[in-house]
Chains A and B, each alone.
Chain A
């Protein structure tokens, strides 16, 4: 069974540019999550999809971040325009349980560097 995959693995962009991160969850997992780890800090929740609906987007930092999950399969996270403080590792996770309380399986992350 394939795990959670993320693309790209690493992205370097300039301040003001746009970047789109992609996440493919484990097949059959209705729940999809985005997290971010800024250097030196803990992993922080961004949002939670159940199929194509946003269940909880309380962790999205501002309106420069847009997450979508059309069709309830893969998800994209767009940052537009990127700022220096957006640098970090963006993780995607998925889980099968409807409530999202069971184990979440994480992807390898996308390391975003904004210069």
Chain B
């Protein structure tokens, strides 16, 4: 069964304290891995798509990496405005490529 597991469930950081979020996936055939950011009361906001092991993408203080079994979202010198829930998703192998399987997310809090 296709599955996405994110850890930790919650992460509290001080401003400037770098860390990483993990997304482990089990899917028969990977057709991309998506990272989203979600703020309270809003819909998920697209961040990155990764397609193959070894691929990396960066955006401001965020860098996403991909291996054959997991993806990491590295946050360098975070700021309070980076506080949000970060979601990871992969397309279901048996469904359409738009059928995304989401993890439960990691809730990040960055304190000034």
Contacts and interface: CB of A to CB of B under 8 A. Distances in A.
Interface of A: 4, 31, 33, 35, 41-45, 48, 55-56, 58-59, 91, 93, 95, 99-109
Interface of B: 4, 31-32, 34, 36, 41-46, 49, 87, 89, 91-92, 94-105
**5 closest cross-chain pairs (CB), A and B:** A100-B98, A106-B43, A56-B96, A101-B97, A43-B102
Contacts, number: 77
Nearest to B91: A101
B15 to A, nearest CB: 28
B99 A56 contact: yes
A44 B100 CA distance: 8
Given A101-B91, A106-B36, 9 more contacts: A4-B43, A44-B102, A55-B96, A56-B95, A91-B44, A93-B43, A99-B96, A104-B46, A104-B98
Contact of B87 (A43, A48, A93, A107): A43
Contacts of B45: 106
Nearest to B92: A45
A110 B46 CA distance: 19
Contacts of B46: 103-106
B45 to A, nearest CB: 7
A102 B51 CA distance: 10
A85 to B, nearest CB: 19
Nearest to B100: A45
Contact of A106 (B41, B44, B94, B98): B44
Contacts of B98: 31, 33, 48, 55-56, 95, 99-101, 104
A105 B98 CA distance: 12
Contact of A59 (B31, B91, B99): B99
